Amino acid sequence: MTRHLLERLGHLLLVLWAVTTLTFVMFRTMPGDPTLNFVSPEFSEDMRAAMLHSFGLDKPLWQQYLIYLFNILHGDFGISFLQKRPVTDVLLEALPNTALLTLVSLVLAYAIGIVAGAFLAFKRGGVAEAIGIPLALASRAAPEFWLGMLLLAAFAFNLGWFPTGGAASPGAEIGSFWDRLVSVDYWRHLFLPALTLTLFLLGLPLLLMRATMLDVLGEEFIVMARMKGLSRWSITMRHAARNALLPVATAFALGLGQSIGGNVVVETVFSWPGIGRVLVDAVQGSDYPLAEGAFIMIAFVLVLMNTIADLAYAALDPRVSVRARR
């Protein structure tokens, strides 16, 4: 188990280094001049050269890369070209919004998906399955921006029940993390983005739970439970559902990392001030440090959750550890 843990941590560091390198090269070679955001046309050549020197953009590319790696190892992502302040501060301000959106959506999607998947397995071959599975597949296949636009049109523009975007009403300020948790206005702004992401994520746990349940229902211990005279509902919910949760629990950890990256679309549609929105604005403005920092943060969460899911699966299912040792 220790060897497996060290291997996974080594893979994590290797992937993060590869993502960091690719992100650096991509943003340094993409079209667009970042100096247009902070160098005025009235600046003289000496003033422009001094400004480029202050950001380190006058050095050769390989020197910029080495400096960038050195700074990242010390927790320094640089200064945002657009906001003129440390990238870490900008990302930490947006992180709670993304974290709340992701956690609320995932918890709702997996809670509903687990119950609904178990119910569809219990009602296999019935009307509920004939209706539920196509709806789950449709929600999974529908693009996030399309779902978001439908919800905006229905509940924001037509009915006016919820705000059209942002995280606070005009004139209101977004306070600390705890202030957001008790703010009704904040939750009203969060509702539509969270509903969009919930509908998009719902299909995976529902279909996975149903498929796993059907496999478990064919196991020998289920046959034994039937021979004991237990009711079908008790067999399905108390015995089969409990043993079918392992793949779903693993998928939850993977979904947490994937939804952090998928939030880019939802946050853009609803102008939600999270990491995804920061990333889009940074890319559009050629803000290299901010875009790179956002990419690395998203990649770190995704790789970390993949590692946790792999380790958790190995801990919960001894057969995985045995195969790893072999």
322 SS3 class: helix
Separation CA 257–CA 306 (nearest Å) = 7
The whole-number pLDDT of residue 275 equals 84
Nearest to 77 by CA among 317, 309, 295, 310: 295
Q: Which two tokens stand for residue 149?
A: 């636009």
Which residue stretches of 56-183 are H helix?
61-73, 87-122, 127-141, 144-151, 177-181
The whole-number pLDDT of residue 127 equals 79
The whole-number pLDDT of residue 167 equals 75
The phi and psi torsions of 92 (rounded to 5 degrees) equal -70, -30
Bridge partners, residue 86, by sequence: 79
Residue 246 identity: L
Please name the helix (run of DSSP H) or strand (run of DSSP E) that holds residue 253, with its range, or none.
helix 241-269
Distances (CA, A) of 178 to 77, 92, 100, 307: 27, 15, 11, 30
Separation CA 93–CA 264 (nearest Å) = 16
Question: Residue 174 in contact with residue 180, Cβ under 8 Å?
Answer: yes
**Which residues, at least 6 apart from 219, have a Cβ–Cβ distance to it below 8 Å?**
243
Domains in the chain, CATH or no CATH each: 2-73 (no CATH), 90-325 (1.10.3720.10)
The whole-number pLDDT of residue 240 equals 67
Separation CA 59–CA 72 (nearest Å) = 18
pTM of the model: 0.75
Question: Residue 289 in contact with residue 81, Cβ under 8 Å?
Answer: yes
Q: Which two tokens stand for residue 174?
A: 């977004």
The single residue listed with the structure tokens 């509908």 is 199
Can you spell out the DSSP letters for 126-158? SHHHHHHHHHHHHHHHS-HHHHHHHHIIIIIII
Which residue stretches of 142-236 are H helix?
144-151, 177-181, 184-216, 220-227, 232-234
Separation CA 108–CA 259 (nearest Å) = 13
Q: Going residue by residue through the chain (326 aa), what tens digit of pLDDT does each one get?
A: 577 677 777 777 888 888 888 877 877 776 655 565 555 566 566 666 666 666 666 677 777 788 778 878 877 777 787 787 888 888 888 888 888 888 888 888 888 888 888 788 777 777 777 787 888 888 777 787 888 888 888 888 888 888 887 777 776 666 666 777 777 888 888 888 988 888 888 888 888 888 887 777 666 666 666 666 666 666 666 666 666 667 777 777 667 766 776 678 888 888 888 888 888 888 777 777 888 888 888 888 777 777 776 776 666 555 545 454 45
